[in-house]
Amino acid sequence: MATELIPVSVLTGFLGSGKTTILCHMLRQPEFSRTAVVINEFGEVALDHELIETSEDNVIALTTGCLCCRVRVDLTQTLHDLLRRRDEGACTRFNRIVIETSGLADPAPILHALMTDTALATRLVLGNVVTTVDAVAGEVTLEREAISRKQVAVADRIVLSKLDLTSGIEASLRSRLTTLNPGAPTLRAVYGQIECDNLFGAALHDPKTVLEISSWLAEAPEHTPSDHDAEIKSFTIARVEPIQAVALTLFLEALAEHCGADLLRLKGIVNVAESPQQPAVIHGVQHVFHAPAWLGHWPSDDRTSRMVFISRRIRRQWVEVLLDAICAEVADVSAGNR
């Protein structure tokens, strides 16, 4: 019998950006009452979990250090323990997990751990990455703290918090967020309240969520980063002509091999020559990629392959010529040309 996969969402954001407030609000919603929460704090004494008003047996605080540094040991073990307790009936039969990272955590290793643990993969599926940004202090934080820019860059959703403390969002902050991550919708939280379904309700990586895919593909114009964000930028490459499956595979291999940690996220919808009616959805974090998933149909009449890159120091020109060269070589081999 197939086991229902439990979505795991990651809630991240810099110190004091309102993660716990939003988490508290979410847990008060009836539809989120069966949520297990893993909280990581960077410090000797955990406080955040004391602030969460929910069934205590579903909240676990990790205080051994920053989650991204000890992720393989602590996080995966914690998730295994949670699942064991659920199976034994020792805690509420939760139907989702939210991991709140420390404000200093790099989300990428956390996503790695979730994507590559063999045993967890049979039980869990990666959900949204939600990043909170303080509407008041966010711009200064983004300017000063590289990790905060990375937290924004990998997000599926960005939540602007503390809007009740400011009369409006500075255009420059919006611009900075769009530059770092044009594909992620920006949502607003007032007094920590937000429509939680928009945050954690849908599995972003579910290719059935066609509107979602359309969103992150449509929202990826070319951006010229400011000096401060020069190391992180996003761009989209598009190809009208279908791409052979083996060329796509080689392309992803080359990206993983040469870009490694600089490829923060890659999402794409690809017209694979061998499957023209059912596009492939690709998704990668650094050098870890999901096997392509196949949509039942194209989200629109547009059959163009589009790949959105959020990366650090990766040159668009190189990515473009790499794909062209690989496609041409595969076509040569297929045609029997030297």
Partner 1 sequence: MNCLSIGLVHELITQSLAAWHIDGVVELTNDRAILIGGKPEIRIEPAQARSMFRWTITVDGRTRHAISLLPVLRQVREVLDPGYQASRVRVAISPLVRS
125 binds partner 1 (CB under 8 A): yes
Q: In the set 75, 114, 194, 196, which binds partner 1 (CB under 8 A)?
A: 114
Q: Is there a contact between 153 and 190 (Cβ–Cβ < 8 Å)?
A: no
- Chain centre to alpha carbon of residue 112: 11
Is beta strand 280-285 parallel, antiparallel or unpaired with respect to 263-270? Answer: antiparallel
328 binds partner 1 (CB under 8 A): yes
Q: Could you say whether residue 2 binds partner 1 (CB under 8 A)?
A: yes
Residue 94 to residue 32: CA distance in whole angstroms: 9
Mark the segment that binds partner 1 (CB under 8 A) among 52-60, 151-159, 191-199, 315-323: 315-323
Report how far residue 74's alpha carbon sits from residue 62's, in angstroms, rounded to the nearest whole number. 8
For 287-302, the DSSP string reads TEEPPPEE-SS-SSS-
Task: Check binding of 290 to partner 1 (CB under 8 A).
Answer: yes
* Binding residue (CB under 8 A) for partner 1 from 51, 140, 230, 261: 261
Task: Verify binding: residue 287, partner 1, rule CB under 8 A.
Answer: yes
* SS3 call for 61: strand
Tell me: does residue 117 bind partner 1 (CB under 8 A).
yes
Site for partner 1 in 201-230 (CB under 8 A): 203, 205-208
Tell me the C-alpha distance between 325 and 247, whole Å: 9
- Report the residue number, 151 or 286, with the smaller CB distance to partner 1: 286
Query: Which amino acid is located at 267 in the chain?
Result: K
326 lies in the site for partner 1, by CB under 8 A: yes
Number of residues near partner 1 (by CB under 8 A): 58
Instruction: For residues 162 and 132, give the distance between their C-alpha atoms in angstroms, rounded to a whole number.
Output: 10
- The span from the CA of 298 to the CA of 312, in Å, is 30
> Can you tell me whether residue 306 is helix, strand or coil?
strand
Which of 38-46, 133-141, 221-229, 324-332 is the region at the interface with partner 1 (rule: CB under 8 A)? 324-332
- Residue 51 Cβ, how far from partner 1 at the closest point, in Å? 30
Stretch that binds partner 1, among 46-54, 172-180, 219-227, 285-293 (CB under 8 A): 285-293
245-259 and 316-335 helices, crossing angle to 10° = 140
Binding site for partner 1 (CB under 8 A): 2, 4-5, 7, 114-118, 120-121, 124-126, 203, 205-208, 241, 250, 252-254, 256-261, 281, 283, 286-293, 314-315, 317-318, 321-322, 324-329, 331-333, 335, 337-338
